[in-house]
Amino acid sequence: MEENKRLLTSDCSFANVKPIMVDLPYPKIQVRERNLDYANLISVDYCGSVSELSAITQYINNENRMFCDRCPIAKTILGIAMAEMMHLQKLGELITLLGGTIDFSAKYSNGKSVMWTPECLTIPKKVENMLLADIESERDAISQYRKHIKMIDDDCVNAVLERIIKDEEYHIFILQVLLEEL
């Protein structure tokens, strides 16, 4: 018995999607000296509740849920996620150079270490709420980076964090434009 089956496909092609970021180079990834306290601070940016890992996962989840109906927005979200992946990679290099370890646990100053979990994510159903959650996450990341810059006395590390902030600010701008176009 042969059933009539219709293939479900998407016309949304991601072939030419590139990272969405400010057109400025990143500083060289280097540190003045090993400093485990700085590595631990950056581990929070790497994989804490407000982190690049959380941002990547949240963006990819949002992109996956909207690609069929909202292809242009999905492509933009994927481009932002790609930039966040680059941030994660750069933070990982800094952590390693500073003498820390990459194990997906954020190491806090009180000695507590917390493993990253999807519970860090905000996963609303409506596209508008997804974009609002993404904007809020970017603002939280900028605030956290600025706090960490004040705590880190290494101009090489801080230059990388400052450059990442420029991308995060640009992401907010892009997300606000997407929100206005809904």
Q: Does 92 score more than 60 pLDDT?
A: yes
Question: Regarding predicted confidence, which is higher, 88 or 111?
Answer: 88
CB count, 10 Å around CB of 47? 26
Q: Are 157 and 93 in contact (CB under 8 A)?
A: no
Question: Regarding predicted confidence, which is higher, 178 or 119?
Answer: 178
Per DSSP, the three-state class of 66 is helix
Burial of 52 (C-beta count, 10 Å sphere; 0-12/13-18/19+): buried
pTM reported for the whole predicted model:
0.92
Tokens 């996620």, located at residue: 81
Of the candidate ranges 1-10, 84-93, 119-128, 156-165, the one whose mean pLDDT is the lowest: 1-10
Question: Regarding predicted confidence, which is higher, 68 or 21?
Answer: 21
pLDDT band at 4 (very low <50, low <70, confident <90, very high): low
Nearest to 29 by CA among 121, 145, 156: 156
Q: Give the residues across from 66 on adjacent strands.
A: none
Please give the Cα distance from 97 to 177 (Å, whole number).
37
Measure the CA angle with vertex 147, ends 140 and 91; round to 5°: 80
Of the candidate ranges 8-22, 79-93, 120-134, the one whose mean pLDDT is the lowest: 8-22
pLDDT band at 69 (very low <50, low <70, confident <90, very high): confident
Per DSSP, the three-state class of 15 is coil
Give residue-wise pLDDT tens across range 50-62.
999 999 999 999 9
Tokens 């069929």, located at residue: 68
Please give the Cα distance from 53 to 134 (Å, whole number).
13
